Structure 1
Amino acid sequence: MHRNHVWAWDFVSDYTQRSGKLRYLSLIDEFTRECHCIHAYRAIRAADVLEVLQDSISEHGVPQYIRSDNGPEFIAKAIQNWLAENDIKTLYIDPGCPWQKGYAESFNSRFRTECLDRELLYTLSESRVVFADWREYYNHVRPHRSLGVLCPSDFAKTLTQQGHGYGRPTNSLRLGLNTTPKQSKEDTHQDWINLRGPTRLFHKKRN
Protein backbone atom coordinates (compact mmCIF):
# COMPACT_ATOMS: atom_id res chain seq x y z
CA MET A 1 0.00 0.00 0.00
CA HIS A 2 2.93 2.39 0.51
CA ARG A 3 6.71 2.59 0.63
CA ASN A 4 8.23 0.25 3.22
CA HIS A 5 4.91 -1.52 3.69
CA VAL A 6 6.16 -4.85 2.30
CA TRP A 7 9.65 -5.85 1.26
CA ALA A 8 10.37 -9.15 -0.47
CA TRP A 9 13.58 -11.13 -0.54
CA ASP A 10 14.57 -14.22 -2.42
CA PHE A 11 17.52 -16.37 -3.46
CA VAL A 12 18.57 -17.46 -6.93
CA SER A 13 21.39 -19.87 -7.71
CA ASP A 14 23.72 -19.95 -10.70
CA TYR A 15 27.28 -20.86 -11.65
CA THR A 16 30.28 -18.90 -12.85
CA GLN A 17 32.10 -19.98 -16.02
CA ARG A 18 34.72 -21.70 -13.87
CA SER A 19 32.00 -23.97 -12.46
CA GLY A 20 31.88 -22.18 -9.12
CA LYS A 21 28.58 -21.98 -7.29
CA LEU A 22 27.03 -18.53 -7.21
CA ARG A 23 24.08 -17.34 -5.15
CA TYR A 24 22.50 -13.94 -4.92
CA LEU A 25 20.06 -12.48 -2.44
CA SER A 26 17.72 -9.82 -3.80
CA LEU A 27 15.70 -7.43 -1.66
CA ILE A 28 12.98 -5.25 -3.16
CA ASP A 29 10.26 -2.86 -2.03
CA GLU A 30 6.99 -4.18 -3.46
CA PHE A 31 5.40 -0.71 -3.68
CA THR A 32 8.17 1.34 -5.29
CA ARG A 33 9.76 -1.71 -7.05
CA GLU A 34 13.15 -0.44 -5.87
CA CYS A 35 15.84 -3.08 -5.59
CA HIS A 36 17.63 -2.37 -2.33
CA CYS A 37 20.38 -4.91 -2.89
CA ILE A 38 21.69 -7.81 -4.94
CA HIS A 39 24.11 -9.58 -2.61
CA ALA A 40 26.25 -12.19 -4.37
CA TYR A 41 28.36 -14.85 -2.68
CA ARG A 42 29.26 -18.53 -2.93
CA ALA A 43 27.17 -19.41 0.14
CA ILE A 44 24.94 -17.16 2.21
CA ARG A 45 24.15 -17.87 5.86
CA ALA A 46 21.42 -16.48 8.07
CA ALA A 47 23.92 -14.07 9.62
CA ASP A 48 24.75 -12.75 6.13
CA VAL A 49 21.04 -12.28 5.39
CA LEU A 50 20.57 -10.16 8.49
CA GLU A 51 23.65 -8.08 7.73
CA VAL A 52 22.27 -7.30 4.27
CA LEU A 53 18.88 -6.45 5.78
CA GLN A 54 20.38 -4.11 8.38
CA ASP A 55 22.41 -2.28 5.73
CA SER A 56 19.30 -1.80 3.59
CA ILE A 57 17.23 -0.61 6.55
CA SER A 58 19.87 1.96 7.48
CA GLU A 59 19.57 3.42 3.97
CA HIS A 60 15.88 3.01 3.14
CA GLY A 61 14.00 2.79 6.42
CA VAL A 62 12.23 0.00 8.29
CA PRO A 63 9.69 -2.26 6.52
CA GLN A 64 6.49 -3.36 8.21
CA TYR A 65 6.54 -6.79 6.57
CA ILE A 66 9.01 -8.98 4.71
CA ARG A 67 7.67 -11.57 2.28
CA SER A 68 9.64 -14.73 1.47
CA ASP A 69 9.42 -18.45 0.86
CA ASN A 70 10.24 -21.01 3.53
CA GLY A 71 13.93 -21.38 2.71
CA PRO A 72 16.21 -22.31 5.64
CA GLU A 73 17.85 -18.89 5.73
CA PHE A 74 14.50 -17.10 6.05
CA ILE A 75 12.97 -19.37 8.69
CA ALA A 76 16.12 -19.61 10.81
CA LYS A 77 15.46 -18.89 14.48
CA ALA A 78 18.13 -16.19 14.52
CA ILE A 79 16.30 -14.25 11.81
CA GLN A 80 12.83 -14.81 13.23
CA ASN A 81 13.96 -13.67 16.68
CA TRP A 82 15.65 -10.54 15.32
CA LEU A 83 12.62 -9.59 13.22
CA ALA A 84 10.28 -10.16 16.18
CA GLU A 85 12.46 -8.03 18.47
CA ASN A 86 12.28 -5.19 15.96
CA ASP A 87 8.55 -5.57 15.25
CA ILE A 88 9.06 -6.52 11.59
CA LYS A 89 6.40 -9.04 10.62
CA THR A 90 6.98 -11.95 8.25
CA LEU A 91 4.80 -13.05 5.34
CA TYR A 92 5.79 -16.62 4.47
CA ILE A 93 4.21 -18.02 1.32
CA ASP A 94 2.66 -21.49 1.20
CA PRO A 95 5.07 -24.25 0.11
CA GLY A 96 5.05 -24.70 -3.66
CA CYS A 97 3.21 -21.43 -4.32
CA PRO A 98 5.77 -19.01 -5.84
CA TRP A 99 2.97 -16.84 -7.25
CA GLN A 100 2.31 -15.66 -3.71
CA LYS A 101 5.56 -13.68 -3.95
CA GLY A 102 4.86 -12.39 -7.41
CA TYR A 103 6.90 -9.18 -7.13
CA ALA A 104 10.04 -11.09 -6.16
CA GLU A 105 9.47 -13.66 -8.92
CA SER A 106 8.92 -10.89 -11.47
CA PHE A 107 12.14 -9.18 -10.40
CA ASN A 108 14.08 -12.45 -10.60
CA SER A 109 12.73 -13.05 -14.09
CA ARG A 110 13.79 -9.60 -15.28
CA PHE A 111 17.20 -9.96 -13.66
CA ARG A 112 17.81 -13.33 -15.29
CA THR A 113 16.59 -12.26 -18.73
CA GLU A 114 18.29 -8.86 -18.79
CA CYS A 115 21.50 -9.69 -16.92
CA LEU A 116 22.33 -13.31 -16.08
CA ASP A 117 21.42 -14.74 -19.49
CA ARG A 118 23.38 -12.01 -21.29
CA GLU A 119 26.58 -12.06 -19.28
CA LEU A 120 29.52 -14.43 -19.01
CA LEU A 121 30.53 -14.39 -15.36
CA TYR A 122 33.94 -15.86 -14.60
CA THR A 123 34.52 -14.85 -10.98
CA LEU A 124 32.59 -13.77 -7.91
CA SER A 125 34.19 -10.32 -8.00
CA GLU A 126 33.14 -9.82 -11.61
CA SER A 127 29.57 -10.87 -10.82
CA ARG A 128 29.36 -8.25 -8.08
CA VAL A 129 30.43 -5.50 -10.49
CA VAL A 130 27.96 -6.66 -13.15
CA PHE A 131 25.11 -6.95 -10.65
CA ALA A 132 25.82 -3.49 -9.23
CA ASP A 133 25.76 -2.00 -12.75
CA TRP A 134 22.48 -3.69 -13.57
CA ARG A 135 20.87 -2.68 -10.25
CA GLU A 136 21.85 0.94 -10.97
CA TYR A 137 20.22 0.65 -14.40
CA TYR A 138 17.12 -1.06 -12.97
CA ASN A 139 16.56 1.54 -10.24
CA HIS A 140 17.49 4.73 -12.09
CA VAL A 141 16.95 4.14 -15.83
CA ARG A 142 14.64 1.24 -16.63
CA PRO A 143 10.99 2.38 -16.92
CA HIS A 144 8.19 0.34 -15.32
CA ARG A 145 4.76 0.33 -16.86
CA SER A 146 3.18 -0.33 -13.45
CA LEU A 147 4.82 2.88 -12.16
CA GLY A 148 3.47 5.10 -14.92
CA VAL A 149 6.54 4.50 -17.10
CA LEU A 150 8.84 5.85 -14.37
CA CYS A 151 11.93 4.16 -13.05
CA PRO A 152 11.70 3.12 -9.37
CA SER A 153 13.93 5.94 -8.10
CA ASP A 154 11.86 8.61 -9.88
CA PHE A 155 8.65 7.06 -8.58
CA ALA A 156 10.07 7.11 -5.03
CA LYS A 157 10.93 10.79 -5.47
CA THR A 158 7.30 11.58 -6.27
CA LEU A 159 6.33 10.00 -2.94
CA THR A 160 8.85 12.19 -1.11
CA GLN A 161 7.50 15.27 -2.83
CA GLN A 162 3.99 14.28 -1.73
CA GLY A 163 5.14 14.07 1.88
CA HIS A 164 5.26 10.29 2.24
CA GLY A 165 8.16 9.40 4.52
CA TYR A 166 10.18 6.25 4.88
CA GLY A 167 8.22 4.87 7.81
CA ARG A 168 9.57 3.92 11.22
CA PRO A 169 12.95 5.51 12.11
CA THR A 170 15.97 3.22 11.93
CA ASN A 171 17.17 4.17 15.42
CA SER A 172 14.31 2.10 16.83
CA LEU A 173 16.01 -1.12 15.76
CA ARG A 174 18.18 -3.39 17.85
CA LEU A 175 21.09 -3.92 15.53
CA GLY A 176 23.32 -6.94 15.77
CA LEU A 177 22.75 -10.64 15.60
CA ASN A 178 22.98 -12.95 18.61
CA THR A 179 23.54 -16.45 17.35
CA THR A 180 25.82 -19.39 18.00
CA PRO A 181 28.23 -21.12 15.60
CA LYS A 182 25.96 -24.16 15.71
CA GLN A 183 22.99 -22.13 14.48
CA SER A 184 25.00 -20.53 11.71
CA LYS A 185 26.18 -23.91 10.51
CA GLU A 186 22.67 -25.32 10.49
CA ASP A 187 21.38 -22.26 8.66
CA THR A 188 23.71 -22.81 5.68
CA HIS A 189 21.61 -23.64 2.64
CA GLN A 190 22.63 -26.86 0.84
CA ASP A 191 20.07 -27.16 -1.96
CA TRP A 192 21.65 -25.51 -4.98
CA ILE A 193 19.33 -25.05 -7.93
CA ASN A 194 20.84 -24.43 -11.36
CA LEU A 195 18.46 -22.05 -13.14
CA ARG A 196 21.00 -21.03 -15.76
CA GLY A 197 19.62 -19.91 -19.10
CA PRO A 198 21.38 -19.57 -22.46
CA THR A 199 24.50 -17.45 -22.02
CA ARG A 200 25.06 -14.44 -24.25
CA LEU A 201 27.34 -11.47 -24.03
CA PHE A 202 25.87 -8.56 -22.11
CA HIS A 203 24.85 -5.84 -24.54
CA LYS A 204 25.72 -3.01 -22.19
CA LYS A 205 29.27 -1.73 -22.51
CA ARG A 206 30.90 -1.10 -19.16
CA ASN A 207 33.90 1.16 -18.61
Structure 2
Amino acid sequence: MIQDEGFAYGYLKLTYCLRKNFNLIINKKKVFRLCKELQVLRPQRRIKTRHPRRLARNRVITGPNQLWETDLKYGYIAGENSFFFILSIIDVFDRSIVGYHIGLACEARDAAITLKNALLKRQLYEAEKKPAIRSDNGPQFISNLFEGTCVELSIEHERIPFKMPNKNAHIESFHAILEEECLSRYEFESYAEAYEIVDKFMRFYNKVRIHSGIKFFSPMECYQLLRENRLELKPVRV
Protein backbone atom coordinates (compact mmCIF):
# COMPACT_ATOMS: atom_id res chain seq x y z
CA MET A 1 0.00 0.00 0.00
CA ILE A 2 1.38 3.41 -0.96
CA GLN A 3 1.98 5.70 2.01
CA ASP A 4 -0.92 8.07 2.65
CA GLU A 5 -2.98 6.30 -0.03
CA GLY A 6 -6.08 6.26 2.17
CA PHE A 7 -5.76 9.81 3.46
CA ALA A 8 -8.58 11.18 1.28
CA TYR A 9 -10.63 7.98 1.14
CA GLY A 10 -14.11 7.62 2.58
CA TYR A 11 -15.12 4.50 4.45
CA LEU A 12 -16.28 2.71 1.29
CA LYS A 13 -12.97 3.16 -0.54
CA LEU A 14 -11.10 2.21 2.63
CA THR A 15 -13.06 -1.05 2.76
CA TYR A 16 -11.95 -2.01 -0.74
CA CYS A 17 -8.39 -0.86 -0.01
CA LEU A 18 -8.14 -3.05 3.13
CA ARG A 19 -9.50 -6.05 1.26
CA LYS A 20 -7.17 -5.55 -1.69
CA ASN A 21 -3.93 -4.71 0.10
CA PHE A 22 -4.25 -6.67 3.33
CA ASN A 23 -6.63 -9.50 2.36
CA LEU A 24 -8.92 -8.57 5.24
CA ILE A 25 -12.42 -9.96 5.40
CA ILE A 26 -14.26 -6.83 6.42
CA ASN A 27 -17.45 -5.07 5.39
CA LYS A 28 -18.16 -1.42 4.90
CA LYS A 29 -20.34 -1.16 8.03
CA LYS A 30 -17.46 -2.19 10.29
CA VAL A 31 -15.07 0.19 8.54
CA PHE A 32 -17.62 2.96 9.02
CA ARG A 33 -17.86 2.21 12.77
CA LEU A 34 -14.08 2.06 13.18
CA CYS A 35 -13.56 5.33 11.31
CA LYS A 36 -16.22 6.97 13.44
CA GLU A 37 -14.67 5.70 16.70
CA LEU A 38 -11.23 6.86 15.62
CA GLN A 39 -12.69 10.20 14.48
CA VAL A 40 -11.19 9.85 11.01
CA LEU A 41 -14.52 9.55 9.15
CA ARG A 42 -14.50 11.74 6.10
CA PRO A 43 -17.44 14.21 5.95
CA GLN A 44 -20.12 13.46 3.38
CA ARG A 45 -19.96 15.52 0.25
CA ARG A 46 -22.75 18.02 -0.05
CA ILE A 47 -24.32 18.23 -3.47
CA LYS A 48 -24.85 21.89 -4.16
CA THR A 49 -28.01 22.81 -6.00
CA ARG A 50 -27.12 25.15 -8.77
CA HIS A 51 -30.63 26.53 -9.06
CA PRO A 52 -32.82 26.59 -5.95
CA ARG A 53 -36.19 24.89 -6.28
CA ARG A 54 -39.09 27.35 -6.47
CA LEU A 55 -42.40 25.82 -5.42
CA ALA A 56 -45.54 26.61 -7.40
CA ARG A 57 -47.47 29.38 -5.70
CA ASN A 58 -51.15 30.22 -5.85
CA ARG A 59 -51.90 32.52 -8.76
CA VAL A 60 -54.86 34.31 -10.31
CA ILE A 61 -54.44 34.29 -14.10
CA THR A 62 -56.26 37.09 -15.92
CA GLY A 63 -54.93 36.81 -19.46
CA PRO A 64 -52.82 34.81 -21.94
CA ASN A 65 -49.06 34.43 -21.52
CA GLN A 66 -49.09 34.78 -17.75
CA LEU A 67 -48.66 31.10 -16.82
CA TRP A 68 -47.76 28.11 -18.94
CA GLU A 69 -47.81 24.53 -17.69
CA THR A 70 -45.69 21.74 -19.12
CA ASP A 71 -45.50 17.98 -18.70
CA LEU A 72 -44.45 14.79 -20.44
CA LYS A 73 -46.63 11.94 -21.75
CA TYR A 74 -45.73 8.55 -23.17
CA GLY A 75 -47.18 6.86 -26.22
CA TYR A 76 -46.69 3.28 -27.41
CA ILE A 77 -45.67 2.07 -30.85
CA ALA A 78 -46.98 -1.48 -31.18
CA GLY A 79 -45.22 -2.19 -34.47
CA GLU A 80 -41.82 -1.38 -32.97
CA ASN A 81 -42.56 -2.45 -29.38
CA SER A 82 -41.23 0.87 -28.10
CA PHE A 83 -42.40 4.07 -26.49
CA PHE A 84 -42.25 7.64 -27.72
CA PHE A 85 -42.50 10.90 -25.82
CA ILE A 86 -44.77 13.93 -26.07
CA LEU A 87 -43.84 17.07 -24.19
CA SER A 88 -46.53 19.76 -24.26
CA ILE A 89 -46.75 23.35 -23.04
CA ILE A 90 -50.23 24.81 -22.44
CA ASP A 91 -51.32 28.37 -21.80
CA VAL A 92 -53.50 28.14 -18.70
CA PHE A 93 -55.80 30.99 -19.71
CA ASP A 94 -56.62 30.35 -23.37
CA ARG A 95 -55.86 26.57 -23.33
CA SER A 96 -53.60 26.74 -26.39
CA ILE A 97 -50.79 24.25 -26.78
CA VAL A 98 -48.10 26.85 -27.39
CA GLY A 99 -45.34 24.32 -27.94
CA TYR A 100 -44.78 20.58 -28.13
CA HIS A 101 -42.07 18.01 -28.76
CA ILE A 102 -42.64 14.53 -30.19
CA GLY A 103 -39.67 12.17 -30.17
CA LEU A 104 -38.20 8.79 -29.36
CA ALA A 105 -36.41 10.55 -26.53
CA CYS A 106 -37.09 13.65 -24.49
CA GLU A 107 -34.12 15.18 -22.71
CA ALA A 108 -33.55 18.49 -21.00
CA ARG A 109 -32.34 20.09 -24.23
CA ASP A 110 -35.59 19.07 -25.95
CA ALA A 111 -37.60 20.72 -23.18
CA ALA A 112 -35.45 23.85 -23.44
CA ILE A 113 -35.81 24.02 -27.24
CA THR A 114 -39.59 23.52 -26.99
CA LEU A 115 -39.83 26.39 -24.53
CA LYS A 116 -37.79 28.68 -26.78
CA ASN A 117 -39.92 27.77 -29.80
CA ALA A 118 -43.10 28.51 -27.83
CA LEU A 119 -41.79 31.98 -26.99
CA LEU A 120 -40.92 32.59 -30.63
CA LYS A 121 -44.34 31.39 -31.75
CA ARG A 122 -46.04 33.93 -29.50
CA GLN A 123 -43.50 36.64 -30.30
CA LEU A 124 -42.34 36.79 -26.70
CA TYR A 125 -38.68 35.83 -27.09
CA GLU A 126 -37.47 39.41 -26.72
CA ALA A 127 -40.38 40.58 -24.58
CA GLU A 128 -39.54 42.15 -21.25
CA LYS A 129 -42.35 40.30 -19.48
CA LYS A 130 -42.61 36.60 -20.16
CA PRO A 131 -44.94 33.90 -18.84
CA ALA A 132 -43.98 31.84 -15.83
CA ILE A 133 -43.53 28.14 -16.57
CA ARG A 134 -44.83 25.47 -14.19
CA SER A 135 -43.70 21.85 -14.28
CA ASP A 136 -43.48 18.73 -12.16
CA ASN A 137 -40.16 17.38 -10.87
CA GLY A 138 -39.23 15.25 -13.86
CA PRO A 139 -35.53 14.95 -14.78
CA GLN A 140 -35.95 17.20 -17.82
CA PHE A 141 -37.23 20.05 -15.66
CA ILE A 142 -34.91 19.80 -12.65
CA SER A 143 -31.84 19.71 -14.88
CA ASN A 144 -29.30 22.50 -14.83
CA LEU A 145 -29.74 22.90 -18.59
CA PHE A 146 -33.47 23.63 -18.38
CA GLU A 147 -33.12 25.79 -15.28
CA GLY A 148 -30.26 27.68 -16.93
CA THR A 149 -32.37 28.25 -20.02
CA CYS A 150 -35.13 29.76 -17.88
CA VAL A 151 -32.61 32.07 -16.20
CA GLU A 152 -31.18 33.02 -19.58
CA LEU A 153 -34.67 33.84 -20.90
CA SER A 154 -35.70 35.65 -17.69
CA ILE A 155 -38.54 33.17 -17.14
CA GLU A 156 -39.73 32.22 -13.68
CA HIS A 157 -39.75 28.42 -13.40
CA GLU A 158 -41.78 26.92 -10.59
CA ARG A 159 -42.25 23.24 -9.75
CA ILE A 160 -45.26 21.62 -8.16
CA PRO A 161 -44.89 19.79 -4.83
CA PHE A 162 -44.38 16.03 -5.05
CA LYS A 163 -47.57 13.97 -5.44
CA MET A 164 -49.72 17.04 -6.16
CA PRO A 165 -50.57 16.81 -9.90
CA ASN A 166 -53.63 19.01 -9.25
CA LYS A 167 -51.22 21.97 -9.18
CA ASN A 168 -50.55 21.18 -12.85
CA ALA A 169 -54.20 20.48 -13.63
CA HIS A 170 -54.49 22.11 -17.07
CA ILE A 171 -51.68 20.17 -18.73
CA GLU A 172 -52.84 16.98 -16.99
CA SER A 173 -56.33 17.59 -18.39
CA PHE A 174 -54.95 18.13 -21.87
CA HIS A 175 -52.94 14.92 -21.74
CA ALA A 176 -56.12 13.07 -20.71
CA ILE A 177 -57.78 14.50 -23.84
CA LEU A 178 -54.77 13.50 -25.92
CA GLU A 179 -54.99 9.94 -24.58
CA GLU A 180 -58.75 9.58 -25.06
CA GLU A 181 -59.17 11.30 -28.41
CA CYS A 182 -55.91 10.37 -30.10
CA LEU A 183 -53.51 7.83 -28.59
CA SER A 184 -56.10 5.25 -27.50
CA ARG A 185 -57.71 5.24 -30.94
CA TYR A 186 -54.67 3.98 -32.81
CA GLU A 187 -52.27 1.08 -32.78
CA PHE A 188 -49.19 2.70 -34.23
CA GLU A 189 -47.04 0.59 -36.55
CA SER A 190 -44.11 2.98 -36.69
CA TYR A 191 -42.70 6.12 -35.13
CA ALA A 192 -43.32 8.00 -38.38
CA GLU A 193 -47.02 7.10 -38.20
CA ALA A 194 -47.24 8.07 -34.53
CA TYR A 195 -45.55 11.41 -35.18
CA GLU A 196 -47.85 12.24 -38.08
CA ILE A 197 -51.05 11.41 -36.18
CA VAL A 198 -50.10 13.17 -32.94
CA ASP A 199 -48.88 16.24 -34.82
CA LYS A 200 -52.17 16.34 -36.74
CA PHE A 201 -54.13 16.08 -33.49
CA MET A 202 -52.18 18.95 -31.94
CA ARG A 203 -53.16 21.17 -34.86
CA PHE A 204 -56.78 20.00 -34.66
CA TYR A 205 -56.87 20.71 -30.91
CA ASN A 206 -55.55 24.25 -31.33
CA LYS A 207 -57.49 25.28 -34.42
CA VAL A 208 -60.75 23.31 -34.40
CA ARG A 209 -61.64 21.53 -31.17
CA ILE A 210 -63.96 23.65 -29.03
CA HIS A 211 -63.38 23.89 -25.28
CA SER A 212 -66.09 24.45 -22.66
CA GLY A 213 -63.65 26.31 -20.39
CA ILE A 214 -63.20 29.07 -22.98
CA LYS A 215 -66.84 29.58 -23.95
CA PHE A 216 -66.86 26.85 -26.59
CA PHE A 217 -64.23 28.42 -28.83
CA SER A 218 -61.15 26.64 -30.07
CA PRO A 219 -57.95 27.73 -28.28
CA MET A 220 -56.67 29.60 -31.32
CA GLU A 221 -59.99 31.44 -31.77
CA CYS A 222 -60.01 32.28 -28.08
CA TYR A 223 -56.47 33.67 -28.15
CA GLN A 224 -57.23 35.84 -31.17
CA LEU A 225 -60.46 37.19 -29.66
CA LEU A 226 -58.67 37.97 -26.40
CA ARG A 227 -55.96 39.87 -28.27
CA GLU A 228 -58.65 41.92 -30.00
CA ASN A 229 -60.50 42.55 -26.72
CA ARG A 230 -63.60 40.86 -28.14
CA LEU A 231 -63.84 38.17 -25.46
CA GLU A 232 -63.87 38.23 -21.70
CA LEU A 233 -63.11 35.20 -19.56
CA LYS A 234 -63.20 34.68 -15.82
CA PRO A 235 -59.84 34.69 -14.01
CA VAL A 236 -58.28 31.27 -13.56
CA ARG A 237 -57.14 30.35 -10.06
CA VAL A 238 -54.27 27.86 -9.94
- Tell me if both proteins adopt one fold, taking TM over 0.5 as the criterion: yes
> Which residue is 1:125 aligned to?
192
For 1:30-69, what aligned pairs fall within 5 Å after superposition? 30-62=92-124, 63-69=130-136
- Residue ranges of structure 1 left out of the alignment (5+ in a row): 165-207
Note the C-alpha offset of 1:133.
1.1
Distance in 2, Cα, partners of 1:14 & 1:80: 26
Q: CA deviation at 1:37?
A: 3.0
SS across alignment from 1:23: strand
Pairwise CA distance, 1:163? 8.8
Greater C-alpha Rg: 2
Candidates 82, 94, 100, aligned match of 1:20: 82
**Alignment match, 2:51:** none
SS of the residue 1:24 aligns to: strand
Q: Which amino acid aligns with 1:44?
A: C
TM (norm. structure 1) is: 0.75
With structure 2 as the length reference, what TM-score do the two structures score? Answer: 0.66
Query: In 2, Cα distance between the equivalents of 1:85 and 1:157?
Result: 29
Kept in 2: contact 1:38–1:131 (CA 8 A): no
- Extract unaligned runs of 5+ from structure 2: 1-61, 125-129, 232-238
Provide, for residues 134-193 of structure 1, a one-character-per-residue CA deviation record: whole Å limited to 9, x for no partner.
1111111111111111111111111121299xxxxxxxxxxxxxxxxxxxxxxxxxxxxx
What is the CA–CA distance in structure 2 between the aligned matches of 1:65 and 1:19, rounded to whole Å? 37
Q: Show the counterpart of 1:135.
A: 202
Q: Give the structure, 1 or 2, with the largest relative contact order (CA under 8 Å, sep 6 or more).
A: 1
The letter of the residue matching 2:97 is C
Q: Secondary structure at the match of 2:180?
A: helix
Paired residues of 1:8 and 1:30 also in contact (CA < 8 A): yes
Question: Displacement of 1:96 after TM fit?
Answer: 0.7
- Looking at structure 2, the residues matched to 78 and 162 of structure 1 have their Cα atoms a distance apart, in angstroms, of 37
Shift of 1:61: 3.5
Q: Aligned pair 1:113/2:180, yes or no?
A: yes
Whichever residue aligns with residue 48 of structure 1, its letter is D
**Contact 2:101–2:110 (Cα < 8 Å) also in 1:** no
1:1-207 to 2 correspondences below 5 Å: 1-17=62-78, 18-62=80-124, 63-162=130-229
- Return the offset for 1:64: 2.0
**Aligned residues with identical type, % of pairs:** 26
Give aligned pairs, total: 164
Q: Is the 8 A contact 2:100 2:114 kept in 1?
A: no
1:7 corresponds to which letter in structure 2?
W
The match for 2:3 is none
